[in-house]
Amino acid sequence: MMRSTGILAIVFGFIFTGLAEIRAAEMDVNMEAELKAVSAFVWRGRTLNEDPCFQPSFTANTGNFSANIWGSWNLTSISNSWQSSRVDAMVDYSFITGRHIIRPGFTAFIYHDDPGGKAKDTYECFVNYTYDVFLLPSVTVHYDISKIDGFFVDMSVAHSFPLVKDRMALDLKLQLEGADKNFNNALFKYPEMGSEQPLPDKTSLVDMTAIASLPVKVGKTGTFTPALKYVMLLDSTTKDIVDAAGQDTNILVYSLAYSMTF
């Protein structure tokens, strides 16, 4: 009961902050919608679906407040659709001091395709810190406040190379992700392997991800973005578990997105 009350307090806190921002900005709200197709759904080092998925999202922001809805739908029939079909709802608020950007937020992971009753919605609080200098070094700490009760951390650097002024760029990003024992156990548990499956037994670096994207502006508000993402698992125990589950420990993901701002 106390945990549920805390979750509600966090959500309403962000809502009231956002309403105050909207009022202060006199309804100056910026919005972006994106339609995205991916060759596979890889989340935090775990391949949830090796087949194509459709992943739309919608973001609205005003002032320093932002809200986002993102979803993933399978484009093929797979046995673990309850894991790979999901809607994420996120709210966050940015504090900016000089070159320092601190962004606390809250995310709800909602499983919308669960005929067998296997999935339970989960909730996270997170805080992101970005230093606004060359390579934009950034770190985000996520803490699951529901059934996992564990930490997940991602660290990244990124840079954009303009190719055609105001029209096309090459965006590169390198990311390292790690988790504590609780989060590792939840992330790399394969129910189909039964109770005999080994689980990660320590805090570890989970994966390294390299992303290259080529956003191309279309008209005044549209952008086409083809991208490649290469994910490589790092922890030897996790690699053994994933290999035993019949999945690749390294995977290349292709994607194509169209976004529009309004």
Instruction: Give the separation between CA 216 and CA 164, rounded to whole angstroms.
Output: 9
Looking at residue 29, its pLDDT comes to 85
Looking at residue 2, its pLDDT comes to 41
Q: Which residues constitute the domain of residue 230? A: 2-261
Looking at residue 26, its pLDDT comes to 56
Looking at residue 5, its pLDDT comes to 44
Q: What share of the chain is helix, strand, coil (3-state, %, to 5)?
A: 20, 50, 30
The encoded tokens of residue 239 equal 């690699």
Looking at residue 256, its pLDDT comes to 98
Local structure of residue 39 (DSSP, 8 states): S
54: CATH: 2.40.160.40
The number of folded domains in the chain is 1
Looking at residue 13, its pLDDT comes to 53
pTM: 0.86
Which H/E stretch holds residue 94? none
Looking at residue 57, its pLDDT comes to 95
What is the mean pLDDT for each group of 10 consecutive residues in the chain (262 residues)?
46 52 64 96 92 94 92 79 79 95 95 64 95 97 93 98 95 98 92 78 94 96 97 95 91 97 90
